[in-house]
Structure 1
Amino acid sequence: MTGTTPPPGAVDQAELLRLARRRAAAGRDGSARPRPIPTTGEGPAPLSHAQQRMWLMDRLGQGGALYNVPVATRLRGPLDPAALADALTALTGRHPILRTRYGQHGDAPPHQEPHPVRPVPLPVVDAAPEAAPGLLHTEAARPFDLAAGPVLRALLLRHTAEDHTLLLTLHHIAVDGGSLPHLTADLAALYAAARTGERPDLPPAGPGYADFARWERGRDAELAAAADTRAAELAGARPLPLLRPLPPGPRARTAVLHHAPLTTDTLDGLRRLGTAHGATLFTVVLAAAFATLRLATGEPDLTVGCASGHRGRPDLRRMVGLNVNTLPIRAELPGDPEFTEVLARVRAALLGAQRYHEVPFDLVVERLGAGSRAADGSPLTAVSCDLVQPVGAVALPGLAAEAVEVDLGLAKFGLALLVEDGPRPRCLVQHDADALAEPVARRLLDAFAALLTAVAGDASAPLSRLPGRRLDAVPSTPADVSAPAEHPAVALLLADPRVADAAVAETEGGPLLAYAVLRGPGGPGGLELRAALRRRLPADRLPAAVTLLDAVPRTPSGELDPARLPGGARRTAPVPGPLEAVRTAFGELLGSRPEPDGDFFVLGGHSLVAVQLAERLRIRTGLPLTGLDVLEQRTPRALAALLDARRAERDAATRPGSRPGRSRTGATAAAVREGTVLVTGATGGVGAAVLQELMAQGRPVRALARPESAHLVSLDGVEVVEGDLADPEGLRRAVAGVDSVIHAACTFTEHQVDVAAMRALVDGWRGGGRFVFVSSVDAYGQPAATEVPEGAAAEGPVSPYGRAKLDCERILLDAAGTGGRGAGVVVRSPIVWGPHRRLREQLRWGSTGALYQAALAGHPLALPDPVADGQEWYGAAWVHSAALARAVAACATAGGPGAGQVLNAVTGHVAWPDFAAELVRLLRSISPVHLTATADPDLRRPWHYPSPTLAPHLHPEPTESWPTTLATMTR
């Protein structure tokens, strides 16, 4: 396989480049510049997603010094310790994140709350230079108390009167690599000012991190939708075969580092290679890492993690805080491609993944489920790659500064392939001593360094002619382990030296269960043993649980006696109902079996336990469940009801005869029935309602749904075609042969994907019926008048989401009526309310999410005051999903309303005070409601959208009033 053509389905690089240039041009004229992060004032704020991951690790005792960030500098010259202490205190005053603590009160979610500015202690310790490394390591490795704070410590070692070493230790929850240059520059300016008494010369500070966290949490609905798409792309990814299963129980996470020099000519050659192929130096290094792993493992489908974040936004570049995210890059490298093709494929995969750089990695992992998790819970980041710079020094004016390396010797990843770009470039391989044998790591380093050198000189060689060879991991279990039973879990359990005996019981129709006897006290728990099995066994051979016993019951002949196993007599009885299964799982994770209405948070639950509980119940019930479901339902009774509903959905979807027309996109489908309507987004809140309306009218329907959720389309007679908005060719095949189209699917966040999907659907559609596009009132922008005429032209500023809708509308209306196509109709809708699960999620996490979460927590609800702004009204336009479905179905009917027009579908308008008061009542909240100038600017919505054309179809049924609908959505 040769050449540089990306694989089928890869991102169109030219199109991305055009989009990037268009965005850059728009940014120059200000028409599409992203809104700055809103400033919402002081006080407690939620944790960002990245912070919550750190907090969870610390809460579970798995953090230690792993996330300590030491910055050490040798300072020679006349240092003023008092001025330095003043500068450190002033630094915490400038950046509240440095004096923030992270607490939790009762069952409320954790939050961040800044301390008042207090002097930062600067201990001065006399120490000889040769004693410095030990002192620095001891101080840098000291754990932080995140609940009490602070998250910044300082230590000054005095070697002589003009020779010092300064150590700043910060917790990663407060800073990242992009924050450090701003902090050290600010500290230098503050130190200079403290010495002279003058005002410091400082640039404007970036936005406060608390405001960033509020902004990110306000986008949770968008992020969740994007996480669904991202998880689908990563489904089936597995850890690197070279890595060993991690031992159960607490670990030291000892890091081993190997390095080899690289010449500056090699780095220059890699840069030239990148320039010739439109790639950065990092992309070339990442491609080399993929090539090295491909040769070492023989695996063509590999996933490597890299660091990403939000600093692409101009307003966040100077922000101090944890602003990074883990970005898994999955690339397929079959056959024997040239390295230039490897680079092209990795570049395409990287660009595709970067579309999701703001999607929190924990949301993606949650959706991927247990099947792709490693024993430490982070399978897609078991291997990482990065291009790093040497740690910079704290350069204080009047002093010579030299960076001092403080290596804590801890591994965040199983394996990291790194290139250090500095005065003395190096190739590095760091690995977790438990995850990879040192001989294998050293051979990987040699292969990585040799491959980098080779492709810097000639990148046209195929992989088979590049340095590197197949490596075999050192076995993690003794080769002479003999199993007393045939199931592989027994052998793996006995391979652990702390396990004396083990057994597996397989019962027809029941769960697969494993049992273990420990050699002594203080050994691993059942959860830890099962976590180790999960790395080594396929899902269909993985026991549902590992139960610890004092002895495995056996017959006189030594065979397992299943009847004497705990619960053995009950395994022939019917499987317990969902409620009992949920209560049991709650008890296993939270320490006591709760009552049916016991509250998850009151019982001591938190986000990580929610993910673990969802994983356990998914395994035991075989039903889809996420950690978010656990956090929303909260009680065993509610969670059991949700599982019952999903079981019914699955059974209805899979019963014989219920799916007569199901086919996959790209497969040969049955002949399309006359008058068939294609509905996209069939499992979403709008698409599901449209399906029900069309089926009630007896219309033949083809439903487009993603493969992982296609079973939810359970209506008899619906032809289900599996596909995704990110697959344009699949969309063209899905639309081929249908008469009409109702396009109700949207990514919400990946606007270029939405536009490309609309173009593909229009290109593939040649039906004589109608194409109805469910657009948004956001396409109107922010008109000067509060009464917005139906179909009025957009007025700026228009949000990126609204701009994408406008682009899609134009594609449709320009193509409708040409090339054998029928008429096009655009139906703009506001917030969609209704009983569907996805719509309930939007209430909790969408534009109304901040109000919902505040009411749930009992916090004040801040609303904008229209009178103070000279407006008559602030609130939300809304439409019931059933009413929208009636209107859309009418537009898709021959001779129906709206041919070639832009119409509105609005059930009504609700003022924010009325909405907030009803929300407080329904949630039985104690939250006060305030009108204030500091309210979220996005709530300043004075617009009314009349719907004269579709009014007959939008008239609400008795169950479709907004208070009734809101009550349904908050249950």
Structure 2
Amino acid sequence: MATDRPAAPAFQEELLRRARERAAARPAARPDSADRGPAPLSRAQHRMWLMDRLGHDGASYSVPFATRLRGPLDVDALASALTELVRRHEILRTRYVERDGEPCQEVLPAPGSFAVPVVPADPADAPALLGAEAGRRFDLSAGTVPRALVLRHGPQDHTVLLTFHHISLDGPSLEIVAEELAALYETAAHPREASAPAPGSDPAQPPSQPQPRPPQYADFARHEHRAAADGLDAGLRHWHALLEGAAPPRLPGPTHPPTDLTARPTGSHTTPLAPEVPAALRELGRRHHATPFTVALTAAFAALHRCTGQDDLVIGIAGTHRRGAAMRGLVGLCVNTLPLRVDTSGDPSFSTLLTRVRAALLDAQQHADVPFDRIVDRIGAAARGADGTSLVRVTADVLGIPTTLRLPGTDAEYVEVGVGEAKFDLSFGLVDTDRPAALVQYRRAALDEEAATAFGATYAAVLTALGAATDDLPLSHLAKGAGAQLPPGTGALQEDDAHPAERLLRCHPDLSDATVVSPAGGPLLAYAVLREIGGPSPAELRAHLRDRLAPGLVPAAVTLLDVLPRSADGTVNPAHLPGLPALPAPEGPHADAVREGFAALLGRTPGPDDDFFALGGHSLVAVQLAERLRRALTLPLTGLDIMQARTPRAVSALLDTRAAERAAASLRAATRPGQPGRTGRSAPAGQSALRTGRARNGTVLVTGGTGGVGSFLLQELAAQGRPVLALARPESAHLVAADGVEVVEGDLTDLDGLREAVQDADAVIHAACTFTRPEVDVAAMDAMVDAWSRGPFVFVSSVDAYGHPVGGQVAEESPSHEPLSPYGRAKTDCEARLLRAAGIAGRGGASAVRSPLVWGPHDRLRDQLRWGATGVLYQAIREGRPLAVPRPGAGGHAWYGAAWVHAAALARAVVSCLDAPVHGVANAISGHVTWHDLGTELSQLLGATADFKESDEIHPDLDHHWHYHSDRLARPLRPLPGEDLRSVLAAMITPSLDRQPGRT
């Protein structure tokens, strides 16, 4: 039968021709963000990155997205959809690193495929499996590509879990992800249907058009960074004035704080509401020109006021930076915490309180661009509680229908996955669905479960009462008698972790306030404030306590005061309580180091009880102080420790405790008899030699620990409190034995031993090298990479891998140029094997750190000074021989000399790659020195007279004319006191065993 339609081949050719014409006419696509280099972190990302650096529970910032799907599931199509999703949205394949001391985001290449493991599981076992998978931490420096897991309950019954990091997306982003995944899944599952022309469609149009490129988050961060170039001073001044004098709400802490929070760190309490309540709340808002969110937020303020008795309250809400059509389809973190300060005094009616909350909300939204962490740092100590928690301990929100993954052909059911610890001590939530409820979520370490139940009941009672049109009632009568009071023993002004005697005094009907203190070396003392004149006497109060407490818990005296002296953050100030003995300032090396650290970073010498934040400290300074003390004292310490301890006395005591714990562990190791190692040999008692059993969590395997570089690596790892597994021969084990170090027998020729050691470690630093047997070095790297299955891997390489570059300036990751020495070629081969394997099959990030000559006070490094290129100078000076050095310009090169690195700086740079892998090659350079200047320094230090002359003839060992750039690791390479050229040369020329790290 005749037809007007062209033959199939001709039709396809015509479509292809027209598609090409349209493609040629279209403007060039916007470049990938990765092509434009690193982008700054957005304000919200910076806050998240800082929380990660401070050591907060990383699992708290995982975003699990789980859906139970009933119906046929095409796992291959799901994997294809995820691959395309990650390709489209660069933020889902971004890593976070530091450049020149500042954090930035770098887009990683799109993965070629996405792994979707399928695990058979009974539905009853699903919660534990989902929680464990969602609780696995992300390494921000390695990238935040989302993880997938499918639990197969039956042929057509699966639970799909996608786990993201919060730094990559927020709530609206999750809705975008779910919608796009459904469309991409349908395309992958039915490719022919998606690509075929629709019946009756215009043949001039291609069968399918690629989806438009979505907006990229890096562009948003760059725009935000440029917009903030003029600073945030005006906004910070506004927030400072608004929040000055505010303090975090004081919540009733648990009577007996739970000791094990690993199973249930977060609690929740749900109170069902009548189905008509949400509609009644919306009607209430309409009458007062307020949104349902504002009404629910006002109810949260009312409940918090009733449960705590406090009038000046702060509740945090989530603000958003999503504005305009340009951000439609953007996946990323666009939120900011907004602290709302509301005065609930005067027993206002709910409608009056609603007016106050609405005004505070509008004001906050007008200044929503100021980062919350900057606000807290600007306010200082007054914005934090006694435990270091910031101003926002309580939040509120309205929760709608949760997002689910709705794949074609399946029925979707939302699955709740609990992860880590709650981000705030207490959160109120109005569940506005077909099953409305009042929800409170809380940290079990911060809030008593019985008190949390009372908070939830109060919130539900307020919401229910508002539904009955009682918004004109004062707060004191709103929902009165509806379970709105806290249970006995959780008084309104109760402090966290209070002494039992203090709890009883606070519950006494005739007392308005009380505290109990235990001064060092003195008796337990109580202080109380009477509600009215003529109340109980101190003797009667003490008898009241004696009747209810064990003798050891009864204070020696009760003192009545008109008011308890309190600090700016609302906590009792023991320094102003009468009758307390003055505490002596702490003494000892830990206290001295803490005092010096406070003074160096905060610009003033602190008193023993001065508050870190009151002295001007903030989050980044806490990180810097912890790093300084950790390095100086070789004791584990984090920025979060500083923020929680806060005073020099408390930080010193914490360090004393950790030193005692380490000493006790060392004593146990020293008294433990030798145990047979993997090869059956045993170590003498007291020697941390051959190990058996599984390494501790977080263990770093170090090869080359007996060498000069290795000894500094072990010292740096010890300073950070990281457990170490050191590879060494039995006869060399004593050179690396130290606190926190376990020794495993082996060397580079023992490939089986290398594999076993790598399998036992959570991170690897490979610093060993034969120097003369490149085939051994390459075979050892092959064995280690083959066994590597998790965590970061750092390889200490050499600038010899660059060979002989053409120019005098050598950028990081420049290609190698012939001629390459066998040593340099082995380094490049090892690097290539490592970097190819990085990020595959669960492996972490990889770093190849290329170093030049390494100098430092160690016998191995002193030997290096006396031989090789520098040895030409050294021996000539020692022997008084004349020396010819290349003249600038000889051979067409303007400069001749050597790059060098201090061993301690190299160790800092290498260890920094454990937390922030460079995912490639980085140089570690302390400086460059000309041969002439080096010879002059050596002559002065050796007390000899050098006879230098410059020549156009170039000694083969002195034919070095390259400057190596060192940008990626600039921050850890910054020189510390004693790491300058002259100091390190003096230390190397004058042997001194007490300067050698790692020696015993």
Scaled by the length of structure 1, the TM-score of the pair is 0.49
Find the structure with the greater CA-based Rg. Answer: 2
